[in-house]
Structure 1
Amino acid sequence: MSVCLLTFGESMVSLRAGGPLANGGTLNMQVAGAESNVAIGVARLGHSAAWAGAVGADPHGEFILKQLRGEGVQLHHTVHADRSTGVMFLEQRTADLSRAFYYRAGSAGATISRGQVAAALDGGTRILHLTGITPALSPEARDAVEYAAERAAAEGVVVSLDVNYRSKLWSRDQAGAVLGPLARHATIVIASDDELDLVAVPPDGNGEATSPADEARAAAHLLELGVSEVVVKRGAAGAAVHTADGLLEAPAIPVTCVDTVGAGDAFTAGYLSALLDGEDVAGRLKRGILAGAFAVSTRGDWEGLPRRDELALLDSARGSTQR
């Protein structure tokens, strides 16, 4: 059965500590994963969403599947008998700094394969959402991402690519070598302002997009390659979208920030849900920023993401500016 959004990748168990892990204390178990975060966010906003992936035959994997089902996410999953579900420890080191420690090498999630993704795509989807995390997990996972992007683009499916660079998985050079070619299949590229160089090195420059001019050149390069929308997440400074019609920018919504984990995924879920609703670029940008504001003002990767009838609770966004 066709869904509005399909995504795939690794979901892990996140064990959160309220202070330094070395001090011990109580840990709170949650589900973590950029792709499943987006699937949950889209489902909460009223659209059908599916996640494909693998978990271990262990309580952690069972916990993940129960949580995703409970949020209305459809599953295309396998349970790996010989590999464990990945685990992440997250400590709140200071009020403004959290640190993650991963135990995911050789995990079940890294076994996502072309065949599994093909079966999920056979069901049909309007949007295929990919991240730069999944191809870093294993050669098998990279092959699955490249196959999915090429197939979906050829079939006229909207392909969304969130760069989501993870330095603990691979170097910037390694990421750029994979994600640059991958971006050519994308309809929408989503990146933080310090990630654009991983998918688009402007012809007259190189390195991170550290200025508005660098960002504009990188975005123009992607648009020339066939990308329709280049969405730039700027954190507390808001977000922007580059299209053939120009640049649209919007500020962040002032909220009390308590946890930035998952904020980028929340923005992406809001943006893509508005696309599914037929909103224009300004409407997508506004909803993305709204969802991001919910995320940073609540704790957890996805627990504070809004449902459709809750969007108005923070709907005080200032107007966007077109230029």
Structure 2
Amino acid sequence: MKRLDVVTFGETMVLFQPEQMLPLEYVSHFPKRFGGAESNVAIGLTRLGHSVGWFSKLGDDPFGRYIYKSIRGEGVDTSRCLYTNEAATGLLFKEQLAPDHMNVYYYRKGSAASKMEAHDLDEEYIASAKILHVTGITPALSESCYQTVMKAIEIAKQNQMIIVFDPNIRYKLWPAEKAKSVLNEIASHADVILPGLDEGQFMTGKEETEAIAEAFMGQGNKTIVMKLGSQGAYFHTNNEQGYVAGFPVQQVIDPVGAGDGFAAGVISGILRQEPLQYTVRRANAIGAMVVGMSGDIEGLPTYEGVERFMNSNTGARDVLR
């Protein structure tokens, strides 16, 4: 079996995003796209030059086949995807009322992806990768999805894989206390944690960036990279800490997917064994590129593209410790 750089899994939905900046009740045309946190990361990594596998359980319907073919067409290995006729592929609609005002409406309850089960996993396939990437979205979909995530983590740990965890919290999917418990359980197993500032505050009960990172570090020897929006990011390990400045964005077109691009940048740097400061700077750059374009994946750059962007946008100075 071919060895992969990264394997990830989760729900990808058909995305309808109107080109008009209007309330949805006044929109008459909806171009069809697709979007999902894990597949966004998979596509981002593929464009950066890495071999990636993504899988899910898709509805045995036209939308499920559309997602499968589209992600495969981006160069991601989709060979472990499954289909079910017990549920439909999930849908989402974006409503943009202003450049910085985006609403997202999900139609995913009881979807095909929520039917994923631990026995669906191909253990040999997962073990063929160097890195397992998981998010906090998948365990929120159903109890069987939670069990699937925990089984994948078990497989990864047994095979000395690096586990990268992006909390990517969806508060509407589950009660706050359950979310906090499960997310911290997954974080305790992860080697690399990629929270946003608000997610870190929710999970740890701490307010300040450094205190949040220290709380996560108390769970073991980890790499914490915290997203700080336009301010850039903060990284923390046992050996180094620092703030890495963000890149200027002329106009925010669509903020959805920026965190997934950021995750792809961090994972790429880990695979390339680059210094953490440079890795985080590239992740910041990808996030800035993604928000400047409409759609979840459209702004994800190639490796050469993000390097050009970084060279032409030096940004503010980093603060290292």
TM-score, normalisation: structure 2: 0.93
The one-letter code sitting in structure 2 at the alignment partner of 1:137 is: L
SS of residue paired to 1:148: helix
Whether 2:243 is the aligned partner of 1:249: answer: yes
What is the aligned counterpart of 2:87 among 80, 83, 87? 83
Classify 1:240/1:317 alpha carbon distance in 2 versus 1 (closer, same or farther; 3 Å): farther
> How many residues were matched structurally?
313
Whether 2:10 is the aligned partner of 1:9: answer: yes
Q: Which residue of 2 aligns with 1:270?
A: 265
Classify 1:103/1:120 alpha carbon distance in 2 versus 1 (closer, same or farther; 3 Å): farther
Q: Distance in 1 between matches of 2:277 and 2:225?
A: 12
Q: Distance in 1 between matches of 2:280 and 2:174?
A: 30
Deviations along 1:140-174, whole A, 9 cap, x unmatched? 00001111113312321000000100111113211
Instruction: Give yes or no for contact 2:59–2:85 (8 Å, CA) kept in 1.
Output: yes
Classify 1:102/1:120 alpha carbon distance in 2 versus 1 (closer, same or farther; 3 Å): farther
What is the aligned counterpart of 2:306 among 297, 311, 319? 311
The one-letter code sitting in structure 2 at the alignment partner of 1:32 is: G
What is the aligned counterpart of 2:33 among 30, 54, 64? 30
Deviations along 1:255-293, whole A, 9 cap, x unmatched? 222111100000000111111111111121011011111
SS of residue paired to 1:194: helix
1:1-323 to structure 2, matched below 5 A, reads 1-17=2-18, 18=20, 19-75=22-78, 76-119=80-123, 121-199=125-203, 201=204, 206=205, 209-210=206-207, 212=208, 215-256=209-250, 257-315=252-310, 316-318=313-315, 319-323=317-321
How many Å apart are 1:314 and its aligned residue? Answer: 1.3
Unaligned runs of 5+ in 1: none
TM-score, normalisation: structure 1: 0.93
Q: Distance in 1 between matches of 2:53 and 2:31?
A: 26
Q: Distance in 1 between matches of 2:248 and 2:179?
A: 33
Deviations along 1:213-269, whole A, 9 cap, x unmatched? xx3222112212114211100111111111112322111100222111100000000
Q: Distance in 1 between matches of 2:276 and 2:296?
A: 26
How many Å apart are 1:120 and its aligned residue? Answer: 6.0
Classify 1:235/1:103 alpha carbon distance in 2 versus 1 (closer, same or farther; 3 Å): same
Q: Distance in 1 between matches of 2:267 and 2:253?
A: 24
Q: Distance in 1 between matches of 2:130 and 2:314?
A: 28
Instruction: Give yes or no for contact 2:87–2:111 (8 Å, CA) kept in 1.
Output: yes
Deviations along 1:18-37, whole A, 9 cap, x unmatched? 32111022111111100000
SS of residue paired to 2:314: coil
Q: Distance in 1 between matches of 2:159 and 2:60?
A: 34
The one-letter code sitting in structure 2 at the alignment partner of 1:183 is: A
Q: Which moved more, 1:221-230 or 1:156-165?
A: 221-230
Percentage identity across paired residues of the two chains: 35
How many Å apart are 1:193 and its aligned residue? Answer: 0.3
Decide which structure has greater strand share: 1
